[in-house]
Amino acid sequence: QDPAHRPFQVWKHTLGTSQLSDTLVYEDLDDLFNVECYTSRDGSLLFVESESKETTELHFLPADKPSTPLTTVRAREFGVRYDVDSHAPSRSLFLTSNADGNVNRELHVASH
């Protein structure tokens, strides 16, 4: 946590090694955003989410290739919130978003 008491970084750690060898994967210096990471329901992707009360920004990498650079799902845009999950067999991302004024959210599908 930083001085604002929020999570703002994601680090990669290899089990059995010293924390001194950990590498920074993601950092968000905007103190309005909290950072978290989680896996997709199918376990194929690791998501890094940076979120405020009004805006979401998500990144991902393959769970079986943790050294791969993060891919951005959608660039940060004020007021746009979205959720995403993966379907590994079809290599698809399913995204629901309030973009373009969709109050009840709209479903989008993209390949990854």
Q: What are the domain boundaries of the chain?
A: 9-13+22-111
How many other C-beta atoms can be found within 10 angstroms of the C-beta atom of residue 103?
Answer: 6
Res 1 pLDDT > 80: no
Q: Which two three-digit tokens encode residue 104?
A: 């009840």
Mean pLDDT of 39-60: 95
> pTM for the full model?
0.86
* pLDDT single digits (tens) 68-96: 999 999 899 999 999 999 988 888 889 88
